[in-house]
Amino acid sequence: RLQSRYSIDPRRVYVVGHSNGGYMAHRLACVAASHFAAVVSSGGALFANLGACTPDAPIAVLELHGSEDASTRYEGGFLDRDREPLPYLGAEGGIAAWARMNRCAPRPNRALPPKDLANGDRVFETRVTSYEGCAPGGAAELWTVEGAGHLPVLGPHIGVEIRRFLERNARITSHAGR
């Protein structure tokens, strides 16, 4: 409906969310990938029930996660709910799952240069893990902020870096049904 009212480039529709919004970004990629070029989750996770994650197209996924996150644990865990705990994958397991769904190379490239995202002090504390050779439109990257918790103090470069990821992953062609 918004695309019919406003001038929106369908190749550049993105979802970015933190915490619950990060879970939402993963969920939207699972159920409506063809509507988005990329999703960015910060401190969110992909739920462990991968049978419920059936993307209808490859999609670029970036997970930004603190290695000491106690709310959405880096190594995975359970989201507490009223009824029963809901399991979620850890940051590395989640991005590996996206790499499989996006038909990327089976092993990640861990030799990429680190980033200075936490506070702009030129200390390169963010480890970058990227899967290469993905299907067109797909990507899977994990940026691990070493020592950071659920709300890392991010420096002035974070917006620029996320925008670079998004621009790198604009859709080449739009999908039918958008």
Does residue 143 have a pLDDT over 90? yes
Q: What sign has the CA pseudo-torsion 23, 29, 30, 32?
A: positive
The pLDDT value recorded for residue 121 is: 67
Token readout for 23 is 């879970």
The pLDDT value recorded for residue 173 is: 55
Going by C-beta distance under 8 Å and a sequence separation of 6 or more, which residues neighbour residue 122? Answer: 116
| 17: nearest Cα among 49, 75, 71, 62 | 62
- Beta bridge partners, 42, equal 18, 64
CB distance 12 to 165 below 8 Å: no
pTM for the model:
0.90
The pLDDT value recorded for residue 176 is: 43
Dist. CA 68–CA 86, nearest whole Å: 20
Counting Cα atoms < 13 Å in the Cβ hemisphere of 133 gives 8
Q: Among 16-20, 51-55, 115-119, 145-149, whose mean pLDDT is lowest?
A: 115-119
Distance of CA 52 to the CA centre of its chain: 17
Going by C-beta distance under 8 Å and a sequence separation of 6 or more, which residues neighbour residue 33? Answer: 55, 56, 57, 58, 59
The pLDDT value recorded for residue 117 is: 86
Q: What is the pLDDT of residues 104-125, one digit of tens each?
A: 999 999 989 998 887 766 666 8
